[in-house]
Amino acid sequence: MKSLRWKKGWYAFFTGFFIAAFSSQLFGQTEFDEATLKGAKREGKINYYGAPDLGIALAPVFNLFNQRYGVEMNFTGGRGRENYDRILAEQRAGRYVADIMSTGPTTMSDLKWRGVLVSHRPPNLKHTPEEFRDPDNILIPVYLNIYGLLVNTSLVKRGEEPKSWKDLLDPKWKGRILADDPRGAGGGNTWFIVTYKTLGGPFLAELAKQNLQFRPQYLENEKSLARGEFPVYLPALAGAIARLKGAPVKWITPSEGVAYIAISQGLVKNTPHPNAAKIWANFQIGDEAQKALGERGNTPVRADVPVPHPELLLKGKKLLGTTTEDDLKQGAKIRKFTEQIFFAK
């Protein structure tokens, strides 16, 4: 009788253990304690400031997040600078609205230096590669931008594509290269800094003589190339392949390597919904959100999440380099050089 009771006890213990383990896998809730989960539900919503394309990429998982945690997502889509202005104004006035912010390293690092973001280490961070993590645990990486070249295959014959960044100095490309504006935050700026560090200022000065055609919106630039307005576009995101499916385009990894950056998120100081923000920060680097990002053409920061296009993978590509916080602190100097060689008035 006693052994039977003992056995039942063991059964109950193991059953409970497996149910708990299973449900944790299924619902991903064990990463947070009861108080955080209840707190998030009580808060009921989260105000997320991010790039509009991120909002569209993640839209399918916003509902999932709501169903799972009872937290409604209020996504405020805006350019990095606009969200930056909003958050700084909110912090100065003590009228806190934003819970979480996400954008590129230039703006995020600036917010970090200003003390607007707080340190937080979500449980899923352990799945992200060490090299993209912030030692201060303030900037939490979400996805990667990989920059190479995009060519229009209707205008450029096979075998005649530029194979390296230096190939662009060939006179045949003069006036035919579409480029993202390198001033301010964005892909053009990242590429410019990385190229300046690796290929050097003289290379950029030579490139400037090719009369690059700058346009302000990188996602529209991809389409201009697809329509045949230009044969080459730089720096092109690898994700262009996903967005321009069916168009006559080819993404190229230049022989010198690709430039890349991590787009990160950060929890805002004095957030009105701290528990919900913590859970979202973790959810965004969870399986579902990372997969959704990959499908829209963003490289998930987690290497273990499959992507629909090989171009999106960073692994296996030669790397030209990335920007560091030190580079970003040299912003004014770099901007002056850019304006001097590309935008002399």
Partner 1 sequence: MIKPLPPPADQSWKILRLLQTINLSHSLMTFTLLIVGFLTLYPVMMLLFGSVRSAPPGDAGNFTLEAYTEAYSDYSTYTILLNSLVISCVKTILALLLGGFFAWVVTRTDTPYPRLLEVLITLPFFIPPILTAVAWAMLANPTTGIINKFLMSLFGLESPPFNIYSYGGIVWHMTHYSTAFVFLLIIGAFRAMDPSLEEASHASGASGLKTFFRITLPLMLPAFMGAAILTFIRGVEAFESALFFGLPAKIFVFTTEIYSSLVHRTPPDYARAMALAVTLMAITFILVLTQRRMMGGKEYFTITGKGYRPQVVKLGLWKWTTFGFCLAYFTVAVVLPISQLILSSFFMIFGLYDLKMITLANYQQAFSDPTFWRALRNSLLLAIGGAGLCMFLSAIIAYITFKTKFWGRAVLDHCSWVPWTVPGMVLALGMLWAYILLPGPVVLYGTFWILLIAYLTLGLPIGVRSMAGTIVQISPDLEECSLVHGATWWQTFVRIYLALLRPGFTAGLMLLFFLFMRELSASVLLYSPGNEVLSVTILKYWEAGRSEVVSVIALVMLAVVLLFRVGETWLLRTKPSVAMT
* 328 interacts with partner 1 by CB under 8 A: yes
Binding partner 1 by CB under 8 A: which of 77, 123, 129, 257? 77
Beta-bridged to residue 260, according to DSSP, are 146
Residue of 41, 121, 127, 223 that binds partner 1 (CB under 8 A): 223
Q: Looking at the DSSP assignment, which residues form a beta bridge with residue 118?
A: 267
Stretch that binds partner 1, among 125-133, 156-164, 193-201, 223-231 (CB under 8 A): 223-231
**Residue 209 sits in the site that holds partner 1 (CB under 8 A):** no
**For partner 1, which stretch binds (CB under 8 A), given 14-22, 104-112, 256-264, 277-285?**
104-112
Q: How far apart are CA 196 and CA 36, in angstroms?
A: 46
Binding flag, residue 93, partner 1 (CB under 8 A): yes
Q: Does 84 bind partner 1 (CB under 8 A)?
A: yes
Q: Which residue has the tokens 């168009």?
A: 247
Count of residues in contact with partner 1, rule CB under 8 A: 58
294 binds partner 1 (CB under 8 A): no
Q: Does 64 bind partner 1 (CB under 8 A)?
A: no
| Binding-site member from 24, 217, 255, 340 for partner 1 (CB under 8 A) | 217
CB-based contact 138:112 (threshold 8 Å):
yes
Distance of closest approach, residue 21 Cβ to partner 1, in angstroms: 37
Subset of 295-324 contacting partner 1 (CB under 8 A): none
CA dihedral 299, 21, 278, 186 (to 10 degrees): 0
Give, to the nearest 10 degrees, the angle between helix 80-93 and helix 105-113.
Answer: 10
| CA 156 to chain CA centroid, nearest Å | 30
3-state secondary structure at position 185: coil
DSSP states of 74-104: EEEE--HHHHHHHHHHHHHHT----SEEEE-
User: Both tokens of residue 105?
Assistant: 């390293």
- Provide the binding-site residues for partner 1, judged by CB under 8 A: 47, 51-53, 55-56, 74-79, 81-82, 84-86, 88-90, 92-93, 95, 97, 106-107, 110, 181, 183-185, 213-220, 222-224, 226-230, 243-247, 328, 331-332, 335, 343, 345
